[in-house]
Structure 1
Amino acid sequence: MSIYVHVMQALAGLAGGRVFPLVADEGVDTPYIVVQRVGGPATNFLTGEAPEKQMNRVQVTVWAASVLEAEAVGGQVEAAIRGAVDLQPEVLGRAVDDYDPTTKYKGSRQEFRIFC
């Protein structure tokens, strides 16, 4: 199953269900969440077999009309991913603020390590 499916399922109840892989749909209402795979260590076996699961680094960004809303939903994102214990999540650091000058949306971005 795709890493996007796993993470989006964990976040489905947040931001009114507005959770998107890679980029949000044009014109979507805020707040919304964007999930992006940003790498992770490769798993290699001497036998050459492909692993059943991979360690994935995932970046999750919340976009909102205000920084307080982005921060609040970002906290919900962290709690939801921490609660998805079947993904063996690891929080890789505190959230980072972001700003989109085109839309004037405020963002909260955080990275996680997910094993699936």
Structure 2
Amino acid sequence: MTVEASIFALLSPLVGGRVFPDVAPFDTPRPYATYQQIGGLVIRPLAKEVPNKQNGFFQVAVWSDRRSAADALALQIEAAFITATAFDAKPMAGPVSTNDADLSRYGKQQDFSIWSDR
């Protein structure tokens, strides 16, 4: 299973399966979550061999109709990543609040460093 598939499986129960890479479709009911890879660390072995692990920095955002709901979901997401068994994830910083006044939605996003099988 790819790390992206593992992220989808991890987040799906928290938002009713509404998990999307990069961006959600415009008419997606809230709450929903998005994720995207924003870089990562590279393993550089001395020998010409391909490592069996990989690292990625992933930004996860949750969107809801209320600030309090987005905050609560963000806490659940952080706990799910920290306790995940499919990969090893660590928060890179605390969550950041955001909003979209045009669409009357509230968001919370957080970055995670994830080590997974290649």
Deviation, structure 1 residue 25:
2.1
CA distance in 2, matches of 1:86, 1:18: 20
Q: Deviations over 1:38-87 (max 9, x none)?
A: 11111111222222221111110001111111001111111111110341
Report the equivalent of 2:109: 109
Report the equivalent of 1:2: 2
Question: TM-score w.r.t. structure 1 length?
Answer: 0.91
Paired amino acid for 2:111: E
Higher strand proportion, which one? 2
Report the equivalent of 1:18: 18
CA distance in 2, matches of 1:80, 1:110: 13
CA distance in 1, matches of 2:49, 2:99: 43
Q: Work out the number of aligned pairs and report it.
A: 116
Aligned counterparts, 1:48-63, within 5 A? 48-63=48-63
Report the equivalent of 2:70: 70
Paired amino acid for 1:30: R
Question: SS of the counterpart of 1:89?
Answer: strand
Contact 2:39 2:57 in 1 (8 A): yes
Question: Pairwise CA RMSD of aligned residues?
Answer: 1.3
CA distance in 2, matches of 1:58, 1:52: 19
Q: Structure 2 stretches of 5 or more lacking a match?
A: none
Paired amino acid for 1:69: A
Runs of 4+ in 1 over 6 A off after TM superposition: none
CA distance in 2, matches of 1:24, 1:52: 31
Q: Structure 1 stretches of 5 or more lacking a match?
A: none
CA distance in 1, matches of 2:101, 2:51: 42
Q: Matched residues, percent identical? A: 33
Deviates more, 1:81-90 or 1:53-62: 81-90
